[in-house]
Amino acid sequence: MDTPDQPQIYLITPPQIELETFPSLLASILDTHAIACVRLALASKDEDVLSRAADVLREVTHARDVALVITDHLQMVDRLGLDGVHLRDAARTVRHARKELHEDAIVGAHCGTSRHDGMSAGEAGADYVCFGPVQASALGDGSFAELDLFRWWSEVIEVPVVAEGALDVDMIRTLAPMTDFFGIADEIWGTEDPAATLGTLISAMR
């Protein structure tokens, strides 16, 4: 994934999708906004469910030259013709994924709030490191990635960084100078018009 001056949007699917309707919604968003990458992030561990979703979304994304990665399911990447994997165990399996996947595959690592994990993931060969949530919420244990982490990373580390979780217009405006990508998920899917909501968030970066 390229990293221009203005952050790019890294779109994350809802944990459950309807295959009859979601692909057309995703297509309309990709046709409306510039999206760098889409992550298939279903909660299901059913191989058939994941395979069918990946097949349908791959057609939508690849027709628009947008990369499609999958959360955690490393063995499905090459088999389903996906562009890479997003690992949620920080740096622990990055090196393994790098060896298992084709040379051009995207390997990303979610490192929560840990600078150490982020650095370890980068050293292991991650193409990007993801930190978040970016502000306190009632979810999880309440911990969040502070602005100083993004500020330091953007000044010191070359590995692209993704800000993800608990984003809003104010946080996007604040973080825009310090991050390469914004991982957008719940921020839009629960709204009446996800494409319009995403447009509002993108406007806050400028």
The residue ranking higher by pLDDT, 1 or 59, is 59
Query: How buried is residue 23: exposed, middle or buried, by Cβ count under 10 Å (0-12/13-18/19+)?
Result: middle
Residue 59 lies in a domain: yes
Residue 2 lies in a domain: no
pLDDT score at 29:
98
Residue 37 lies in a domain: yes
Query: Which range has the worst mean pLDDT, 2-6, 156-160, 197-201?
Result: 2-6
**Average pLDDT of the segment spanning 124-147:** 92
Q: Please state the domain count of the chain.
A: 1
Mean pLDDT of the chain: 95
Dump the DSSP string for 38-78.
EEE--S---HHHHHHHHHHHHHHHHTTT-EEEEES-TTHHH
**Average pLDDT of the segment spanning 160-182:** 97
Residue range(s) defining the domain that contains residue 115: 8-203
Query: Which range has the worst mean pLDDT, 1-5, 46-50, 129-133?
Result: 1-5
Residue 1 lies in a domain: no
pLDDT band at 3 (very low <50, low <70, confident <90, very high): very low
Question: Quick one: which H or E segment has residue 128?
Answer: strand 128-131
Query: Which range has the worst mean pLDDT, 10-24, 33-47, 81-95, 128-142?
Result: 128-142
Query: How buried is residue 203: exposed, middle or buried, by Cβ count under 10 Å (0-12/13-18/19+)?
Result: exposed
**Average pLDDT of the segment spanning 172-181:** 98
Residue 170 lies in a domain: yes
Dump the DSSP string for 132-151.
--SS--SSTTS----HHHHH
Residue 157 lies in a domain: yes
CATH number for position 165: 3.20.20.70
